[in-house]
Chain A
Amino acid sequence: MRLRLVPQETSFDFFKRAKLWLGISALMMVVALASFLLQGLNFGIDFRGGTTIRTEASETVDVGAYRDALAVHELGDVSITEVFDPSFEDDQHVAMIRIQAQDDGEAISGEMIETLKASLDAVAPGIKFVSVESVGPKVSGELITTAVIAVALAIGAVLIYIWLRFEWQFALGAVAALLHDVVLTIGVFSELQIKFDLAIIAALLTIVGYSLNDTVVVFDRVRENLRRYKKKDLAEVLNISINETLSRTMMTSVTTLLALVSLYVLGGDVIRGFVFAMIWGVIVGTYSSVFVASTILLKLGVKRDWSKQANTTGNQFSNIDA
Chain B
Amino acid sequence: MLQIDLWKRVLIWLVCAAGLLLALPNGFYTRVEQANDAAAEIIAKGETPERLETAGQWPSFLPSGLVNLGLDLRGGAHLLAEVQVEDVYEARMDALWPEVRDALRPERDTVGTFRRQPGPADQIRLKISKPDGMSRALEVVRGLANPVTSLTGAGATDIEVSSQGDILVVQLSEAEKLASDDRTVRQSLEIVRRRIDEVGTREPTIQRQGADRILIQVPGIGSASELKAIIGTTAQLTFNPVVGRGSDADAAPGIGNKIVPSLDEEGVYYTIEAAAVVTGEDLVDAQPSYDQNGRPAVTFRFNTSGARRFGDYTAENIGSPFAIVLDDEVVSAPVIQSHIPGGSGIITGNFTIEESTNLAVLLRAGALPAGLEFLEERTIGPELGQDSIDAGKVATAVAFIAVLVYMIGSYGMFGMFANVALVLNIALIFGMLSLIGGTLTLPGIAGIVLTVGMAVDANVLIFERIREELKAGRGPAKAIDEGYSKALSAILDANITTFITAVILFAMGSGPVRGFAITLGLGIMTSVFTAIFVTRLMIVMWFERRRPKTIEV
Judging by beta carbons under 8 Å apart, are B500 and A157 in contact? yes
Q: A150 in the interface, Cβ–Cβ < 8 Å?
A: yes
Q: What's the tally of chain A residues with a CB closer than 8 Å to chain B?
A: 81
The residue that B490 contacts in the complex, of A8, A220, A274, with Cβ under 8 A, is: A220
Given contact pairs A2-B409, A260-B450, A274-B446, A322 touches B489 in the complex (Cβ within 8 A): yes
At the interface, yes or no: B154 with Cβ under 8 Å from chain A? no
When A165-B493, A210-B498, A256-B450 are in contact, do A146 and B468 touch as well, CB less than 8 Å? no
- CB-based contact A267/B457 at 8 Å: no
- Complex contact A131–B380 (CB within 8 A): yes
Residues of B within 8 Å of A132, CB to CB, are 223-224, 377-379
Contacts of B508 in A (CB 8 A): 146-147, 149-150, 153
| Contact A87–B387 (Cβ < 8 Å) | yes
| Complex: A133 Cα to B377 Cα, angstroms | 6
A251 an interface residue at 8 Å Cβ cutoff?
A: yes
Question: Which residue of B is nearest A51, CB measured?
Answer: B377
Q: In the complex, what distance in Å separates the CA atom of A1 from the CA atom of B513?
A: 42
B375:A110 contact, CB within 8 angstroms: no
Please encode chain A, from 35 to 66, with 1 for each CB lying within 8 Å of some chain B CB and 0 for all others.
00000000000000000001010000000000
- A153 to chain B: which residues have CB within 8 Å? 504, 508
Kindly state whether residue A263 has any CB partner on chain B within 8 Å: yes
Q: Is A78 an interface residue (CB 8 A)?
A: no
Complex: chain B residue closest to A165, CB-CB: B493
Complex-state Cα separation, A173 to B495, whole angstroms: 18
Residues 169-197 of A at the B interface (beta carbon under 8 Å): none
User: Nearest CB to that of A149 among chain B residues?
Assistant: B508
With A162-B497, A199-B513 known to touch, is A266 a contact of B375 (CB < 8 Å)?
no
Query: Which residue in B377, B396, B500 is a CB contact (below 8 Å) of A161?
Result: B500
Contact of A252 with B501 in the complex, beta carbons under 8 Å: no
Q: How many A-B residue pairs have CB under 8 A?
A: 249
Contact yes or no, B489 A220, CB < 8 A: yes
Check if B384 sits within 8 Å of A3, measured CB to CB. Answer: no
- Taking the closest CB of chain A, its distance from the CB of B99, in whole angstroms, is 35
Given A252-B457, A255-B453, A267-B446: A161 in contact with B490 (beta carbons within 8 A): no
Query: How large, as a class, is the contact surface on chain B?
Result: 35 or more
**Quick check: A213 and B454 within 8 Å, CB to CB?**
yes
| Inter-chain contacts of A321 with B (CB < 8 A) | 488-489, 492
CB distance from A147 to the nearest CB of B (A): 8
When chains A and B are docked, how far (Å) is the Cα of A62 from the Cα of B500? 47
A232 to B399, CA, bound (A): 42
A102: chain B residues at CB < 8 Å are: none
A266 to B383, CA, bound (A): 17
The prevalent SS among residues of B at the interface is helix
Q: Is B464 an interface residue (CB 8 A)?
A: yes
Q: Which of B224, B442, B454, B457 contacts A270 (CB 8 A)?
A: B442
**Is the beta-carbon distance between B501 and A209 smaller than 8 angstroms?**
yes
Q: Chain B residue with minimal CB distance to A136?
A: B375
Residues of A within 8 A of B (CB): 2-4, 8, 54, 56, 87, 105-111, 113-114, 128-136, 138-139, 146-147, 149-150, 153-154, 157-158, 161-162, 165, 198-199, 201-202, 205-206, 208-210, 212-214, 216-217, 220-221, 224, 244-245, 247-248, 251-252, 254-260, 262-263, 265-268, 270-271, 274-275, 278, 321-322
User: Which 6 A/B pairs are nearest by Cβ-Cβ distance?
Assistant: A110-B225, A256-B453, A268-B391, A259-B453, A209-B498, A3-B409
B interface residue numbers (CB < 8 A to A): 72, 80, 82, 223-225, 228, 373-381, 383-384, 387-388, 390-392, 394-396, 398-400, 402-403, 406-407, 409-412, 442-443, 445-446, 449-450, 452-454, 456-457, 460-461, 464, 467-468, 471, 486, 488-490, 492-498, 500-502, 504-505, 508-513, 516-517, 520, 552
> Can you list 23 A-B contacts with CB-CB less than 8 angstroms, sorted by A residue number?
A2-B409, A128-B383, A130-B380, A130-B384, A132-B223, A132-B379, A133-B377, A134-B377, A136-B374, A158-B500, A198-B511, A201-B509, A202-B516, A213-B498, A216-B497, A255-B452, A255-B454, A259-B449, A262-B395, A266-B391, A268-B387, A268-B391, A268-B395
